[in-house]
Structure 1
Amino acid sequence: MKIDLNADLGEGGQFDEALLQIVNSANIACGFHAGSPDIMANAIKLAVKYNVKIGAHPGFPDKENFGRTRMDLPPQSIYNLTLYQIAALDALVKKENATMVHVKPHGMMYNQAAQDKTMALAIAQAVYDFNPNLTLFGLSGSFLIDAAKEIGLPYMNEVFADRRYQASGSLVDRSHPKAMIESEQESIKQVLGFIKNGTVNTIDGEIIPVAAQTVCIHGDGPHALLFAKNLHAALSSDKLE
Structure 2
Amino acid sequence: MADSGSPTITVDLNADLGEGVGDDEAMVGIVTSANVACGFHAGDPFELLSTCRAAAAAGVRIGAQVSYPDREGFGRRFMDIESARLTADIIYQIGALQAIARSVGVDVEYVKPHGALYNSIVSHELQADAVVAAIVELGGTLPLMGLPGSLSLRLAGDKGLSTITEAFADRAYRPDGTLMPRSEPGSVLTDTGEIARRVVGLVERREVTAVDGSVVAVDAESICLHGDTPGAVEHARAVRAALTDAGIDVSAR
Fold match by TM threshold 0.5: yes
> Structure 1: 5+ residue runs without aligned partners?
none
- Give 1:117 deviation, angstroms: 2.5
Task: Give the secondary-structure state (helix, strand or coil) at the position aligned to 2:10.
Answer: coil
Aligned pair partner of 1:229 in 222, 237, 241: 237
How many correspondences in the alignment?
A: 241
1:141-180 residue pairs with structure 2 within 5 A?
Answer: 141-180=149-188
SS in 1 for 2:110: strand
For 2:151 and 2:25, how far apart are their aligned partners in 1?
32
Structure 2 SS opposite 1:3 = strand
The separation in 1 between residues aligned to 2:198 and 2:154, in whole angstroms, is: 24
Q: Cα offset for 1:159?
A: 0.3
Describe how 1:47-196 pairs up with structure 2 within 5 A. 47-196=55-204
Output one character per residue of 1:50-80: Cα deviation in whole Å (capped at 9) or x when no partner. 1100110011111111001111112112211
Q: Using structure 2 for the length normalisation, give the TM-score.
A: 0.92
- Per-residue CA deviation, residues 164-218 of structure 1 (Å, 9 max, x unaligned), is 0001111000001100000112212221222111111111111111111000011
Aligned AA for 2:118? Y
Q: After TM superposition, give the deviation of residue 239 of structure 1 in Å.
A: 5.6
Residue 12 of structure 1: how far off its partner (Å) = 1.3
SS at match of 1:65: coil
Distance 1:159 1:238 in 2: 18
Q: 1:186 to 1:239 in 2, by over 3 A?
A: farther
Q: Offset of 1:145 from its aligned partner?
A: 1.5
Residue 64 of structure 1 aligns to a residue whose secondary structure is coil
Q: What is the aligned partner in structure 2 of residue 13 from structure 1?
A: 21
Identity of aligned residues (%): 38
- Secondary structure of 2:30's aligned partner: coil
Which residue in the other structure is 2:40 paired with? Answer: 32
Q: Secondary structure at the match of 2:119?
A: helix
Q: Which has the higher contact order (CA 8 A, sep 6+)?
A: 2
Is the deviation greater in 162-171 or in 137-146? 137-146
Give, in whole Å, the separation in 1 of the partners of 2:241 and 2:139. 34
* Larger relative helix fraction: 1
AA partner of residue 202 (structure 1): A
Secondary structure, counterpart of 2:233 in structure 1: helix
TM-score w.r.t. the length of structure 1 is 0.96
Moved beyond 6 Å, runs of 4+: none
Cα contact 1:15–1:219 (8 A) shared by 2: yes
1:240 is displaced (CA, Å) by: 4.8
Partner amino acid, structure 2, of 1:9: L
Alpha-carbon distance in structure 1 between the residues aligned to 2:139 and 2:115: 23
Counterpart residue number, 1:22 = 30
Q: CA deviation at 1:14?
A: 2.9
Q: CA deviation at 1:24?
A: 0.5
Q: Distance in 1 between matches of 2:20 and 2:139?
A: 28
The runs of 5 or more residues in structure 2 that have no matched partner are: 1-8
Contact 1:121 1:144 in 2 (8 A): yes
1:209 to 212, 217, 236: 217
Of 238, 246, 249, the residue aligned with 1:238 is: 246
